[in-house]
């Protein structure tokens, strides 16, 4: 079968030129080198940078965590997936959770080495914690907002291979949190070579380099072009079968598919549903499909008019033709999102979702809010995201039926992140997920008014209180009941335009095996093999 022949021949020539220029890649055998095409390189390699899909994938491969979930086979897809019922040691060989869920002690694995050859000790863990605490970003937010840590004295070095974390309130997340993609441990000996008075925590260096105990380190980071991962020869689980991963930015998804068919790349990330359907028909390609934990949504800045009015936000949700979009944009591969909590997580409910396509109801709500003649706004979406562009065009059309004039603003991912992080974009697409499989964690992440990633600026004191209570409760039944109340309130107050869970699909050469799905929806190159 021949598909996309014209593009394939063009991409083959381009890929040959790319490989010829890749230099050290030729030092590895073809079976040891994985060539990946994706829509964009990470905005930053630092785990303290705001999370994005590209950043999550880098973190999965260049940072190792203290704990990990076990794995199992997904019966629907045959992929290896995380088993949320089993928490295992990772950099910590074992851990002890106190009966009252107010302290956890990590017993570190001995003999673990970074790519620089430095052995991991409690000093590395404590320096990583200290860095995160002082940078007041990702780590600090997890500790203060999720675990309610008040000061750094909660983190204690017990001995050279033991670290203890104590928290002021009990939490069922005290062990689950350390599986998180954003909580990797840094090689403090290596990073300290790159610190300066102006940059005491190495933020500049770690934005484009790595220093950790993970299976890979970064040998080249060229934003907008490529990321080269090299295997850590000292990795404690054993050296990776794939010694070198060359991730190339290929913004056009059809080019990624053509390159995969031509054999110019081994992995094509983030193909559109239509391209996934085509890839399924290519004899040399295997498509992995997992229904995961994503919510793809159009967030509204609840702080600024007109989205400070709940009736306006509700109206926007009544202006979405979900069944039509599910077929025309996602080709039946997605499911409508009916809650801020992922459908595969405990305590999820979609019972309170009332929104169907109803222009007259939307107009009535807009009139009630003081906008009988509609309004003008902007929708921000990312360059190189055809799904978001298709959604934006379709939504612009249906919004117009209620006299809402939505200007479409196409921006590079980093620019869009910067604008919505600063509250400068009224509407914007976000495709994100809660990494920890817990309803309170997910609600806290996206809905709590104190969250650093609540970009919609939704605020409801009662919702905040229920979330905060769940974070320090060990009563599962009470937590689940409160989380269902939270979901009902959030759906009613509609901080987002709720859209779809697109699932996760990955197209690979049939020479490539070993795909595994993780809650960050990022590929772990260590799991991959290549014939």
Fold match flag (33-246+510-530 vs 295-504)? no
Average pLDDT over residues 388-416: 96
Per-residue model confidence (pLDDT) at position 483: 97
Question: How far out from the chain centre does Cα 116 lie?
Answer: 28
Is the pLDDT confidence value at 279 over 90?
yes
Q: What is the 3-state secondary structure (H, E, C) of 134-185?
A: HHCCHHHHHHHHHCCCCCHHHEEEEECCEEEEECCCCCCCCCHHHHCCCCCC
φ/ψ (deg, to 5) at 136: 55, 45
List of residues 6+ apart from 360 with CB closer than 8 A:
none
Look-up of token digits 């772990």: 524
Per-residue pLDDT at 334? 93
pLDDT at 5 over 60: no
Q: Average pLDDT, whole number, for the chain?
A: 93
Interval 20-32 mean pLDDT? 62
Beta strands at 33-38 and 244-249: parallel, antiparallel or unpaired: parallel
pLDDT tens for each residue of 113-159: 999 999 999 999 999 999 999 999 999 999 999 999 999 999 999 99
Instruction: Write down the pLDDT at residue 27.
Output: 56
Question: 295-504 — its CATH code?
Answer: 3.10.105.10
Q: Does residue 427 carry a pLDDT above 50?
A: yes
What's this model's pTM, rounded to 2 decimal places? 0.87
Kindly state the average pLDDT of the residues 378-391: 94
How confident is the model over 250-267, as a mean pLDDT?
Answer: 97
Kindly state the percentage of the chain with pLDDT values over 90: 90
**Domain residue spans in the chain?**
33-246+510-530, 295-504
DSSP-assigned states of every residue in 183-210:
-PPB-HHHHGGG--SS-TT-HHHHTT--
Instruction: Decide if domain 33-246+510-530 falls under CATH 3.40.190.10.
Output: yes
Q: Give which of 98, 105, 92, 182 is closest to 141, Cα–Cα.
A: 182
């Amino acid at each position: 079968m021949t598909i996309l022949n014209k593009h394939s021949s063009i991409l083959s020539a381009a890929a040959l030129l790319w490989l010829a220029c890749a230099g050290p890649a030729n030092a590895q055998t073809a079976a040891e080198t994985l060539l990946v095409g994706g829509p964009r390189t990470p905005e930053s390699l630092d785990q303290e940078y705001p999370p994005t899909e590209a950043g999550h994938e880098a973190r999965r491969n260049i940072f190792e965590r203290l704990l990990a979930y076990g794995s199992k086979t997904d019966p629907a897809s045959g992929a290896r997936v995380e088993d949320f019922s089993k928490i295992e040691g990772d950099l910590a060989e074992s851990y002890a959770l106190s009966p009252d869920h107010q302290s956890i002690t990590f017993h570190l694995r001995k003999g673990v080495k970074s790519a620089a050859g430095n052995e991991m000790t409690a000093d590395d863990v404590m320096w990583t914690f200290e860095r995160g605490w002082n940078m007041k970003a990702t780590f600090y937010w997890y500790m203060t907002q999720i675990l309610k840590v008040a000061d750094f004295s909660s983190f204690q070095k017990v001995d050279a291979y033991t670290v203890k974390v104590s928290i002021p309130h009990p939490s069922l997340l005290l062990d689950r949190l350390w599986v998180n993609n954003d909580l990797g441990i840094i090689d403090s000996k290596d990073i300290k070579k790159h610190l300066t008075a102006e940059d005491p925590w190495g933020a500049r260096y770690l934005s484009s380099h790595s220093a950790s105990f993970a299976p890979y380190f970064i040998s080249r980071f060229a934003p907008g072009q490529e990321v080269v991962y090299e295997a850590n020869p000292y990795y404690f689980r054993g050296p990776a079968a794939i010694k070198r991963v060359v991730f190339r930015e290929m913004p056009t998804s059809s080019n990624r598919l053509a390159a995969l068919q031509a054999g110019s790349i081994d992995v094509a990330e983030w193909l559109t549903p239509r391209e996934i359907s085509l890839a399924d028909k290519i004899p040399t390609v295997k498509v992995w499909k997992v229904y995961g934990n994503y919510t793809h949504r159009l967030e509204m800045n609840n702080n600024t008019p007109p989205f400070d009015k709940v009736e306006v936000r509700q109206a926007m949700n009544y202006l979405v033709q979900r069944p039509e979009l599910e077929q025309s944009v996602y080709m039946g591969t997605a499911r409508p999102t009916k809650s801020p909590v992922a459908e595969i997580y405990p305590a999820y409910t979609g019972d309170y979702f009332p929104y169907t396509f109803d222009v007259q109801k939307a107009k009535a709500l807009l009139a009630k809010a003081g906008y009988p003649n509609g309004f003008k706004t902007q929708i921000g979406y990312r360059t190189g995201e055809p799904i978001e562009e298709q959604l934006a065009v379709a939504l612009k059309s249906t919004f117009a039926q209620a006299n809402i004039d939505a200007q479409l603003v196409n921006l590079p991912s980093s620019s869009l992140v910067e604008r919505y992080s600063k509250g400068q974009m009224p509407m914007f697409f976000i495709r994100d997920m809660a990494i920890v499989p817990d309803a309170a964690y997910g609600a806290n992440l996206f809905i709590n008014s104190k969250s650093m990633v609540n970009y919609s600026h939704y605020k409801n004191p009662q919702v905040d209180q229920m979330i905060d209570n769940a974070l320090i409760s060990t009563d599962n039944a009470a937590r689940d009941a409160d989380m269902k109340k939270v979901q009902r309130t959030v759906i009613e107050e509609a901080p987002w335009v709720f859209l779809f869970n697109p699932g996760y699909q990955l197209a690979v050469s049939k020479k490539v095996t070993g795909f595994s799905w993780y809650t960050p929806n990022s590929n772990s190159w260590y799991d991959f093999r290549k014939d």
